[in-house]
Amino acid sequence: METPAPTDLLAAAFAVGVLFLVRFMLALRRIRLELGARWPSEPQAWRGATRPLAFGEAMEPDRRHAMRQLGVGMVCLALAAILALWLGGAALFGWPVPFASA
């Protein structure tokens, strides 16, 4: 079985992270459409997604879903950033890249 190239892993982690952040924004949009006039002002809305029961008990499952999307997206983007720094260091300073094919 062939191991994917580190640059392919970087691109995949970045793409998956961005897609999960888009899903987070869509989940918040769904909450906003259901709440209507009860939607808080914008800065409070983004911060409210991290607080339990911020949008009411009826919206709690949707809020938790949005938080899962945000968490997975941030983890994927953090992994992509770490891999990008590692590959950048390998290119500049000759650091070893264990998964690179010789």
pLDDT in tens, 55-97: 889 989 999 999 999 999 999 999 999 999 999 998 899 888 8
- Counting Cβ atoms within 10 Å, is residue 66 exposed (0-12), middle (13-18) or buried (19+)? buried
Full-model pTM: 0.84
Residue-wise pLDDT for 35-47, tens only, equals: 887 777 667 667 7
pLDDT of residue 22: 97
Model pLDDT for residues 85-96, shown as the tens digit of each residue: 999 998 899 888
The secondary element (H helix, E strand) that includes residue 70 is helix 60-93
Instruction: Compute the distance between CA of residue 58 and CA of residue 50 in angstroms, rounded to an integer.
Output: 16
